[in-house]
Amino acid sequence: MELFLQTLIDGLLIGGLIIVVGIGFSLCFGVMHIVDFAVGEWVMLGAFTGFLLVSYFGQDPMIYLPVLFIIFFVLGWAIYPLIYRAISGKRHNPVLMGLVFTFGLSILAKGGALSIWGYHIQSITTWLSGKSLALGPITIPALRFSGFLFGILITLLLMFFLYKTKLGITIRATAQDREMASLLGTDVRKVGALVYSLYAGVTGMSGILIGALFSIHAAMGVKYCTLAFFVVVLAGMGYIPGVIIAGLILGLLQSFVGVYVGGRYNLVALFMVMYGVLLITPKGILRRGI
Amino acid sequence: MKKGFKLILSVLILVFLIPQFGLAQEKRDFFKVGVVTSLSGELAFGGTVTKRGYDLWADTVNALGGIEIEGKKYKVTLVYADDQSTPATAAVAAERLITQENVDFILGPYASGTTLALAPIAEKYKIPHITGSAESPLIWKRKFKYTFGTIPAVSLIAQASIQTLAKDVTPKPKTVAILGIDDAFSKFAAEAFKMSAEKEGFKVLKYDIVPEGSDYTPQVSAIKALKPDIFAMGSHEKAAIEMIKIAKELKFNPQAFVQHYGMTTPDFRKGLGKDAEFVLGTSVWTPNMKHQATLLFKNPKEYANAFKAKFGDEPEYTNAGSTAAGIAFQEALRMIKAKPPLTQENKDALISALEKLNIMTFYGQVKFAVEGDFYHCNAGLQPVAIQYQGGKLVEVGPGKLQVVAPKFPTPSWDKR
């Protein structure tokens, strides 16, 4: 029973981290229809930037969460015109163009990080590292728990923004019908820039949490790219509330398969679920995706 | 018709002449050494470990004027090709070095998976290849004629720390749980832990293999629930760091943490800080060893000093194994008196020379096996158990190899 409860907690906490990575990706895809292959590289760049900030200025890495959001928001804003150029105009297949462009960005980011920061594996420590809460025989690692809360909080904030504010409603209108929104006076380019910047900010910010939990290196983004794809498929492409449920399901799946079936079957289980969802309910488990 | 004839004639001339130019024996007075290793991707850290070892060999040889063959010195030039941490790219990279760069021989990749992809290419083009890093026994079981390795297979060396825990600590631990990563090296490290644990009378409570890049928390939780005395991990450096971090988060307190590779690297120590203390591992070389050599570096200390002067870090056994791979080629070339560029006859003679090689280097004895399951592996080196004590790696066993007593049992996380 103890192991079952610990497995449940581990799964929920892993799910929290998956939510953190998947939420921005889902927003980006849902609103702009951009499949950003560089999602993992935003995480990696966030982790390295956090590492740099801590190395230069000291203090606890968690303090830099808002700083990272601002840095990556600005970076996203700066990059967006290039993406807009790649996906607009007389392109035959804008989604594919976006995919190719961001794939290039991802290679550039990986290569750039390797050139700038080298091959070393870096680590950062927060005041929460190594600390845990004990609930009887169950251990809840403090840093993972804060990652979980962070993921839920960001999702709720984004949902509030999208569903309860005028700007959010404009974004949703643009996602539903780009041309109609444009005809009604919405500057779709600016809306796109805002969404991409939000996505870059949130994902870059998550890098510092992931860097503190695991390790930081130029190739660390690859696995988060895969996870983000899993989340979006399971949640329903572009359906933000689904990300919480999808993240938690994926986390629990990894945890229970890892403990009760065997770690080597983890990826098999994840792929089976993803293919199953794509075959049976392509709009995601809640049937609310695109 | 005339035009068509001219066109066919031109094509025929091109078809026949171009390969002739390509195959024409180039003239040079230096050895061109191909190096395939991971300079980008997941294994870039390890790739750089091998690169540093190879670079130090080439720079030291060149500083002495080159490899001396019949009174004349020939310098070495390393031509690098990045395998991007993937086996398929390693094969393509090797093919490019052989067919386009016309390298004389190859110094091999960091990882076993990439080495297993490169070895058939070396076989196809009959070009000598020594890996200064790969440790998977699978490489040697395939009996490649043109591939050699300076580091013994992990299945021969990983047992040192388990033997130390069986013979050199009291009270003797009784149980072990093993977690390995699913790659050509790490799962054999895990398997070696399992075999040696069973041989030493430990009860194996759990043995699990997980894919690289997973979140290892559920597996560590499952192991924690079994309360093993020893937690043994077969992995490369990144997973080695992450598993210790997870164990600390989960307040998992076995009597001993055992790893193989990974814990020997400077990044492990830097990344974990004090949490690296008490972790046990295995090495076939440390700067404190007493080998006396006549080739290049006189002893491990001299090598360590040269390495530190060049790179600013302490060397570990994969750096040393990579440098030793260069020394093996150097001595074999001297034995056959081959001058650059090597002909196919020279390359075949080089293989025979490598098979006969028996030299003492700063790294220890280099003598490749010529039969059995470890064919062409430098299988004879004695592994030593090492442990982090006071931020430094010290030799703790087994038996007579002990320099400092192992610190055992590991204190719980809240008492460190």
For chain B, domains (ranges, CATH) are 30-152+288-366 (3.40.50.2300), 156-283+383-415 (3.40.50.2300)
Chain A, chain B: beta-carbon pairs less than 8 Å apart: 122
Contact assignment for A14 to B215 by CB distance below 8 Å? yes
Residue B339 has pLDDT above 50, yes or no: yes
Contact assignment for A114 to B273 by CB distance below 8 Å? no
Can you tell me the mean pLDDT for A96-118? 91
According to DSSP, residue B204 is labeled: E
Whether B131 contacts chain A with CB within 8 A: no
Contact assignment for A7 to B221 by CB distance below 8 Å? yes
A282 upstream amide cis, omega within 30 of 0: no
Contact assignment for A258 to B42 by CB distance below 8 Å? no
In a domain, A176, yes or no: yes
In a domain, A149, yes or no: yes
Whether B284 contacts chain A with CB within 8 A: no
Q: Which residue of B has its CA nearest to A111?
A: B40
Q: pLDDT tens across B315-326, in order?
A: 999 999 999 999
- Cα torsion at B284, B288, B289, B294 (round to 10°)? 110
Q: Which residue of B has its CA nearest to A12?
A: B218
Point out which residues pair with A7 in neighbouring strands.
Answer: none
Residue B19 has pLDDT above 80, yes or no: no
How much of chain B, in percent, has pLDDT values that exceed 70? Answer: 94
CA B89/CA B187 separation, integer angstroms: 22
Contact assignment for A2 to B225 by CB distance below 8 Å? yes
Contacts of B268 (CB under 8 A, 6+ apart): B237, B240, B241, B262, B276
B contacts of A217 (beta carbons < 8 Å):
44-45, 238
In a domain, A120, yes or no: yes
Residue B113: its H or E element: helix B112-125
pLDDT value at residue B25:
59
Can you tell me the mean pLDDT for A165-173? 91
Please give, rounded to a whole number of angstroms, the shortest distance from the CA of B353 to a CA of chain A.
36
Q: Are strands B230-234 and B203-210 parallel, antiparallel or unpaired?
A: unpaired
B341 upstream amide cis, omega within 30 of 0: yes
In a domain, A290, yes or no: no
A contacts of B209 (beta carbons < 8 Å):
262-264
Number of domains in chain A: 1
pLDDT value at residue B23:
47
Can you tell me the mean pLDDT for B95-118? 96
Q: pLDDT tens across A194-252, in order?
A: 999 999 999 999 999 999 999 999 999 988 998 888 898 898 877 888 899 999 999 99
Residue B150 has pLDDT above 60, yes or no: yes
Side chain identity, residue B110: Y
A contacts of B218 (beta carbons < 8 Å):
7, 10-11, 14, 254-256, 258-259, 263
| DSSP letters spanning chain A | -HHHHHHHHHHHHHHHHHHHHHHHHHHHHHHH----TTHHHHHHHHHHHHHHHHHHH-S-GGGGHHHHHHHHHHHHHHHHHHHHHHHSSS-S-HHHHHHHHHHHHHHHHHHHHHHHH-SPPB----TTTT-EEEETTEEEEHHHHHHHHHHHHHHHHHHHHHHHSHHHHHHHHHHH-HHHHHHTT--HHHHHHHHHHHHHHHHHHHHHHHHHHS-B-TTTHHHHHHHHHHHHHHH-TT-HHHHHHHHHHHHHHHHHIIIII-GGGHHHHHHHHHHHHHHH-TTTTTT---
Q: pLDDT tens across B267-323, in order?
A: 899 889 999 999 999 999 999 999 999 889 999 999 999 999 999 999 999 999 999
Side chain identity, residue B126: K
A62 alpha carbon, distance to own chain's centre = 18
CA A230/CA A227 separation, integer angstroms: 5
Point out which residues pair with B280 in neighbouring strands.
Answer: B258, B387
In a domain, A14, yes or no: yes
Whether B48 contacts chain A with CB within 8 A: yes
- Check: CB of residue B244 under 8 Å from CB of residue B366: no
Contact assignment for B210 to A266 by CB distance below 8 Å? yes
* Greatest Cα pair distance in chain B: 94
Please give, rounded to a whole number of angstroms, the shortest distance from the CA of A286 to a CA of chain B.
26
Contact assignment for A263 to B219 by CB distance below 8 Å? yes
Please give, rounded to a whole number of angstroms, the shortest distance from the CA of B44 to a CA of chain A.
6
- Check: CB of residue B230 under 8 Å from CB of residue B256: yes
In a domain, A238, yes or no: yes
Q: Which tokens sit at B150?
A: 């300076």
Of A111, A222, A258, the CB nearest to B219: A258
Can you tell me the mean pLDDT for A256-280? 90
Residue B360 has pLDDT above 70, yes or no: yes
Can you tell me the mean pLDDT for B141-168? 95
- Name the pLDDT band for B22 (thresholds 50, 70, 90): very low
Please give, rounded to a whole number of angstroms, the shortest distance from the CA of B223 to a CA of chain A.
9
Contact assignment for A139 to B48 by CB distance below 8 Å? no
Contact assignment for B182 to A264 by CB distance below 8 Å? yes
- Check: CB of residue B203 under 8 Å from CB of residue B176: yes
pLDDT value at residue B54:
98
Whether B112 contacts chain A with CB within 8 A: no
Residue B21 has pLDDT above 50, yes or no: no
In a domain, A286, yes or no: no
CA B348/CA B330 separation, integer angstroms: 15
Contact assignment for A10 to B221 by CB distance below 8 Å? yes
In a domain, A15, yes or no: yes
> Best residue in B40, B51, B52, B221 to probe A by mutation, most A CBs within 10 Å?
B221
CA B152/CA A131 separation, integer angstroms: 39
Whether B225 contacts chain A with CB within 8 A: yes
pLDDT value at residue A175:
83
Whether B355 contacts chain A with CB within 8 A: no
Residue A84 has pLDDT above 90, yes or no: no
- Check: CB of residue B222 under 8 Å from CB of residue B178: no
Contact assignment for B218 to A223 by CB distance below 8 Å? no
**What's the domain range around A247?**
6-280
Whether B276 contacts chain A with CB within 8 A: no
A contacts of B267 (beta carbons < 8 Å):
120-122
- Name the pLDDT band for B16 (thresholds 50, 70, 90): low
Whether B281 contacts chain A with CB within 8 A: no
